[in-house]
Amino acid sequence: MTVSAPPRNPGRPRGDSACRDRLLAAAKAAFAAGGYEGTGLRAIARAAGCDVSMVAHFFGSKAELWRAIVDAAARRHEAGRDAIARHLGDPAATVEVRLRRGVALLFDLIAADVPLARLLMREMADEGERADYVEARLTRPMLALFRPLWDEAVRAGVFGPVDGVVAHTAMVGAIAALVALRGSMARIGGCDMDVAQLRDAFCSGLFRRS
């Protein structure tokens, strides 16, 4: 008599919990490189070393996997929000000091996750549900945090007469481009800087005054 193995619960495939983190990391890199539409779940699962069924197990769908990446970034940003706000609004520091500090903090925030920066730049260049989601979860909260400082810098004459949204978007775009193209700069111009050196060079160029 043959004894059958007990049936498995259909929605609960085997897999270690670390697979979820690997899927998130692989998906972030893949979406950053190939865009949402150009990225397949099988390729993500292969890069993560997981069975493709684990995507449905942990996330439900490709769209939910993409949203999980943005949500994880939003949680990290929210966790550091109070500390950044204290630095930006320090009453003991001049606007110039707080501005340099704010740009350095923004630089570090973006440079800490280059694949995420590339993914977000892709999505923000388009219109649609994903761009709306990025704006709601990341762009608007970050703008609300930094815009008072940009506006104060305009009033103090440290910045020229620029709208706060334009200033913030330009700052984020410039930083994201620099960190994303750091390898290219090293190859074509010999500017082989680590992230800290690149940040310091950016701040020095931005705030040099006659």
203 & 104 share domain: yes
pTM value?
Answer: 0.84
- Establish if 69 belongs to a structural domain: yes
Token pair of 166 as six digits: 């334009």
51 & 86 share domain: no
Averaged pLDDT of the chain: 88
What CATH number does the domain containing 25 carry? 1.10.10.60
143 & 197 share domain: yes
- Establish if 3 belongs to a structural domain: no
106 & 188 share domain: yes
Mean pLDDT value of segment 40-69:
96
Q: What is the largest CA-CA distance in the chain?
A: 92
The domain tally of the chain equals 2
75 & 35 share domain: no
- Establish if 97 belongs to a structural domain: yes
Q: Which of 29-33, 50-54, 184-188 has the lowest mean pLDDT?
A: 184-188
Its domain, for residue 15, covers 10-60
Token pair of 26 as six digits: 């692989």
pLDDT (tens digit, 9 = 90+) per residue, 54-66? 999 999 999 999 9
Mean pLDDT value of segment 38-59:
95
74 & 114 share domain: yes
Contact 134, 120 (CB under 8 A): yes
Contact 61, 147 (CB under 8 A): no
pLDDT at 208: 65
- Single out the residue in 60, 83, 98 at which a domain terminates: 60
pLDDT (tens digit, 9 = 90+) per residue, 113-172? 999 999 998 898 888 999 999 999 999 999 999 999 999 999 999 888 999 999 999 999
Cα angle value 128/130/136 (rounded, 5°): 105
pLDDT at 209: 57
- Establish if 98 belongs to a structural domain: yes
Give me the percent of the chain exceeding a pLDDT of 90.
71
- Establish if 91 belongs to a structural domain: yes
Token pair of 32 as six digits: 């950053």
pLDDT at 8: 40
How far is Cα 23 from Cα 14, in angstroms, rounded to an integer?
15
How far is Cα 160 from Cα 150, in angstroms, rounded to an integer?
10
pLDDT at 2: 38
> Concatenated DSSP letters for 81-134?
HHHHHHHHT-TTS-HHHHHHHHHHHHHHHHHTTHHHHHHHHHHHTS-SHHHHHH
pLDDT at 206: 83
- Answer left, alpha or beta for residue 102, where phi above 0 means left and psi between -120 and 50 means alpha: alpha
Mean pLDDT value of segment 175-203:
87
195 & 142 share domain: yes
